[in-house]
Structures are given as C-alpha cells and as structure tokens.
Amino acid sequence: MPLTLPTLQAAARTVHAVMPPTPQYRWPLLEAAFAGPPGDGTELWLKHENHTPVGAFKIRGGLVYFDRLMASGARPAGVVSATRGNHGQSIAYAAARHGVPALIVVPQGNSREKNAAMRALGAELVAAGEDFQASRGHAQALAEQRGWLMVPSFHPDLVAGVASYALELFAAAPDLHSVYVPIGLGSGACGLIAARDALGLATRIVGVVSTGAPAYALSLACGEAVSHPVTTQLADGMACRTPEPQALAMLQRGLHGVVQVSDDEVAAAMRRLFEATHQVAEGAGAAALAAAWQQRAQLAGQRTALILSGGNVDRDVYAAALSAAP
C-alpha cells in the first residue's frame, strides 16, 4: 500500500481516536547546551513519544494494524509476535481493544519491567531465544502450532501508524532542518521518511544506531542486508542483528545519513535528558540526543528535532545510567 498523504492522514485519525497527539517542546537547558553564541538561532525540539499510553511510539502502529485487520474481516483467533518490549506492548494494547488473545515472545533475559507491562496489558508472555531474531523464529513456530496470526515487526500498516508522530511534529515545528531518529527494525525512521516525503519537505532525516548493534549502518554502507552480532547492553530498542529488507530499502532512499552511538554516549544522553528536562528515556529513546550531541557543531543556528522514542527502562538500569560518572 503506497504511503501517500491521504493514507497517512487516515492512519493518524485512527491513532488520534484512541490517544491525543504527543507534545514536542523546546527545553531551554537542553537547547542552551547546543547553542553557540547568544542569538545564533539554534532551536532544538524534543518529540515526546515517551508520553503515549504505553510509553513509546510503537502503540501507533499497533492501533492502525489492528484497525485495518478488523476492517478486512480477517479476525484472527489470536495473534503472536516477537519483541524486545515496545512493539509487544503495542500489539498487546491493540489486541486487547479488539478482544483478541495475544502471545508475545521475548528473548531470554529481556527487560523485566517491559515484560511486566506486556502481561499487564493481557498478553501471554514466552521467553525464548538469545536475541530478537531467535525469538521471532520461535514466535513463528508458535503461531503455526496454534493457528494464530503472526504479526510482523515491520509492515506498511505499522509504518503508516507510527508516521502519525511525524505528521504531528512537522505541523508543530515547521521548516525543520534535521530530525534524528533511532533505528531498531526501522518503522520509526521509515514513518518519518514517509511523512516528510508525503508533505514534500526537504528535512534531513538522520538515523541512529548503536555501535553494539551496527547491522543497519553496515547494510546501508554496502547497499545490502548484513547481519552483525548485538552487544549493546543499554539500547535494547536498537538491538537488531538482521535488517528488514523493506525497511532497509526505504532507509537507503530516504536517510541523509547514519550516526553510531556507544552505550556510554547513550548513558550520557539519558543523564542529560533528565538534568535538562526531567524526562525519563530508555536507551533507544536517548540515542537521538547522543547522535545530535556528536554533531552539535553542525547544528548551530539550525532548527533540529530529536525523537525521544520511549521511556520504558528498568529502574536498576536507569539508576546505573544516572549514577555513572559524567
């Protein structure tokens, strides 16, 4: 399905029937850290996807995916999906709204608090596999065993749904020079690209990956999907071992560039966000700030936006990030 402006606007209406638009703010302390000489015109906007009903942007995709699934008349007996957490919360939330059972497969050792959130939303949870890709294989097998629908982690309807945050951002903060966005499997970045292109804007979209999960950066550099082991301990929302071909193709066409950030840089960004805005960001949620901080000299005098994609971080992980030496 082409991601035209009418398609994206219809998806946004589906999302906004359930949740209001999230805010985007300019935080003075954060902006001051990026600014050059007084009056240089630097603007820094933070898009607060940590303010959705599940604390992350993914809910938007789940709402649209299920709305279109039910409209098609193909009501499943149940759904199965794999996740590190935020996609699973999205699927659990949307499935519960339609009275559809949901089984979510997570990797062994997954975030304790994200697991608890998915269970609280009514999902049956299974821990299997050493990483997301292994969990996805197990989820596919369970879907076949039960005769339930396997919900992918990347799909045009998911992209159309998450693009609603981009429409909100571009309307509230027009004439953006750049937007920094984390890349997990790619729906968030692809939603930004789809909205920008549908609106005919020239905004540069900069993807952000972890140095401990560089598969997308490597794949974009060589023009084909390349798998790479995941070692990040903090940015679980970006812990992708193998890129999605559809996402890779869209990112290849639509990104201005990619920045890699280390776990130490992400932890520093989590601290900076708390100190300057008192917002809680998970690792992936702070990654856009970490990347922009790397390139802050290039952003002087520009209007830039950062996607705070989620705030779902375990208490002990967050405490350790905040207490680390600056």
The answer for 129, left when phi > 0, alpha when psi is -120 to 50, beta otherwise, is left
Q: How far apart are CA 166 and CA 270, in angstroms?
A: 22
68 Cβ contact partners less than 8 Å away, ≥ 6 residues apart: 157
Confidence band of 1 (pLDDT split at 50, 70, 90): low
108 burial class (0-12, 13-18, 19+ CB within 10 angstroms)?
exposed
Crossing angle for the helix pair 86-97 and 59-71, nearest 10 degrees?
40
Tell me the percentage of the chain whose pLDDT exceeds 90: 89
Check residue 37 and give its pLDDT.
63
Q: How far apart are CA 188 and CA 181, in angstroms?
A: 7
What domains appear along the chain, each with residue ranges and CATH number?
5-56+156-323 (3.40.50.1100), 59-150 (3.40.50.1100)
The kind and range of the H/E element at 163 are helix 156-172
Q: How far apart are CA 173 and CA 106, in angstroms?
A: 36
Query: Which of 215, 262, 259 lies closest to 235, judged by CA?
Result: 262
Query: Which of 74, 136, 129 lies closest to 104, judged by CA?
Result: 136
Check residue 139 and give its pLDDT.
93
214 Cβ contact partners less than 8 Å away, ≥ 6 residues apart: 228, 260
In tens, the pLDDT along 75-129 reads 999 999 999 889 999 999 999 999 999 999 999 999 999 999 999 999 999 999 8
In tens, the pLDDT along 4-17 reads 999 999 999 999 99
The contacts found for 130-135 with CB under 8 angstroms, 24 or more apart, are 131/107, 131/230, 131/239, 131/241, 132/82, 132/83, 132/84, 132/107, 132/239, 132/240, 132/241, 133/241, 133/242, 134/107, 135/82, 135/83, 135/105, 135/106, 135/107
**What are the residues facing 43 on neighbouring strands?**
303
In tens, the pLDDT along 161-210 reads 999 999 999 999 999 999 999 999 999 999 999 999 999 999 999 999 99
In tens, the pLDDT along 273-319 reads 999 999 999 999 999 999 999 999 999 899 999 999 999 999 999 99
Check residue 114 and give its pLDDT.
93
Query: Which of 54, 73, 197 lies closest to 117, judged by CA?
Result: 54
Per the structure block, which two tokens stand in for 8?
A: 């994206």
Q: Tell me how long the chain is.
A: 326
3-state secondary structure of 179: strand
Region 38-64: mean pLDDT is 93
In tens, the pLDDT along 114-160 reads 999 999 999 999 999 888 888 999 999 999 999 999 999 999 999 99
pTM: 0.95
- 49 pLDDT higher than 80: yes
